[in-house]
Amino acid sequence: MSNPSLLILPGDGIGPEVMAEVRKIIDWYGAKRGLVFDVSEDLVGGAAYDAHGTPLHDDTMAKAQAVDAVLLGAVGGPKYDVLDFSVKPERGLLRLRKEMDLFSNLRPAQCFDALADFSSLKKDVVAGLDIMIVRELTSGVYFGEPRGIFKEGNERVGINTQRYTESEIARVARSAFDLAMKRGKKLCSMEKANVMESGILWRDVVTEVSREYPEVELSHMYADAGAMQLTRWPKQFDVIVTDNLFGDLLSDLAAMLTGSLGMLPSASLGAPMENGRPKALYEPVHGSAPDIAGQGKANPIACILSFAMALRYSFDQGPEAARLESAVEKVLADGVRTADLMGPDGGVPVSTTEMGDAILAALDASL
């Protein structure tokens, strides 16, 4: 049997720096755990635009379709603000999501004990928080037609369309129910059924799918109330399922509850391939952070934890994923901090590479 394959797309800004640390972790698994990956690397986002005039070359798209999993760093930066919408770095990422049909985006919001003081909320509201947002990722207003900026009389009108089919709702609902079964068996679905027909359909279909999962306790919430409840008492939630745009907003909100956007990974999953593995792309929730790029200040943990998610969801290596997550927790408990994790009392932050090395040392110690 050939080794599992990984395509690495570091992207822009801090992407390449944090991905360099992930490569060290991947090499560690090859050397110390006999988990050898065939790794290839390519360009995405602004980096791809600079080289090829497109944020995602067709060859790269084809490679992404062929591998077992894609690991992506981040895309975008002020340098590319002037580009035409159609070739902006973000279009590269959206094309990957759409063409790989990665409809289920898993965004955990987990509060690490060592960082509970970092949240802007009171410690008891966030300590021990562990929720999972499942965001629909390939439809809704991000992709609906008609879209564009049109002339209407003597003014322009900007149009985007929220559109969901029953099957699109049902498949992401199933993936959320499946996850809920493996976790706390509680699922909250969020939409705006009070204002949007697509929300009415969403609620209907999620309710229908719930009959396949009698053990899961399903609730519904309007997305605005959901945002309010997430800040009021986030621990009332286990799994949340929502559409593309609400999921974009709510996952940033949930991420910040944990006090540290630099810590959170994500998995974007599609239908199973021939080998039974889901089509998959893993990426940190944070962006390309151009303000600190190239300075060795970035926190590589979100990207490293994204690889842990790959171990769990693409490669059936749950215990090895847990090993990596524990290594991260140990390093944080030991007080190792990148600049984004420095509290108000200050201290001396470690660099991106030092954080990666500390995690490697913790992995060694786990053997």
Instruction: Return the bridge partners of 218, or none.
Output: 187
Is 281 a residue that touches ligand IPM (CB under 6 A)?
A: no
Q: Binding partner of residue 90 among ligand IPM, Mg ion, none, CB under 5 to 8 Å per kind?
A: ligand IPM
**Residue matched to tokens 């602004």:** 46
Q: Binding partner of residue 93 among Mg ion, ligand IPM, none, CB under 5 to 8 Å per kind?
A: ligand IPM
Give the C-alpha distances (Å, rounded to integers) separating 209 from 101, 167, 213, 326. 21, 11, 7, 35
C-alpha–C-alpha distance, residues 307 and 314, integer Å: 10
Question: H helices then E strands: how many in the chain?
Answer: 12, 12
Shortest distance (Å) from residue 344 CB to ligand IPM: 28
Is 248 a residue that touches ligand IPM (CB under 6 A)?
A: yes
170 vs 245, beta carbon nearer Mg ion:
245
- The residue with its CB nearest to Mg ion is 248
How many residues form the binding site for ligand IPM (CB under 6 A)?
Answer: 4
184 vs 287, beta carbon nearer Mg ion:
287
- The residue with its CB nearest to ligand IPM is 90
Shortest distance (Å) from residue 28 CB to ligand IPM: 28
Q: Which residues contact Mg ion (rule: CB under 5 A)? A: 248
C-alpha–C-alpha distance, residues 170 and 315, integer Å: 25
Is 289 a residue that touches ligand IPM (CB under 6 A)?
A: no
Is 90 a residue that touches ligand IPM (CB under 6 A)?
A: yes
93 vs 240, beta carbon nearer ligand IPM:
93
Burial class of 30 by CB neighbour count within 10 A (0 to 12, 13 to 18, 19+): middle
Shortest distance (Å) from residue 280 CB to ligand IPM: 15
The residue type at 74: A
- Catalytic site residues? 142, 192, 224, 248, 252
22 vs 332, beta carbon nearer ligand IPM:
22
Give the C-alpha distances (Å, rounded to integers) separating 347 from 301, 340, 355. 19, 12, 15
Binding span for ligand IPM by CB under 6 A among 4-12, 87-95, 151-159, 289-297? 87-95
90 vs 101, beta carbon nearer ligand IPM:
90
Which residues lie closer than 8 Å to 314 by C-beta, 6 or more apart?
4, 68, 69, 277, 278, 280, 282
Give the chain's length. 367
Q: What would the DSSP string read from start to end of 27-50?
A: HHHHHHH----EEEE---THHHHH
> What's 69-117 look like in SS3?
EEEEEECCCHHHCCCCHHHCHHHHHHHHHHHCCCCEEEEEEECCHHHHH
Is 99 a residue that touches ligand IPM (CB under 6 A)?
A: no
90 vs 357, beta carbon nearer Mg ion:
90
186-191 and 239-242 strand pairing = parallel
Residues of this chain that interact with ligand IPM (CB under 6 A) are 90, 93-94, 248
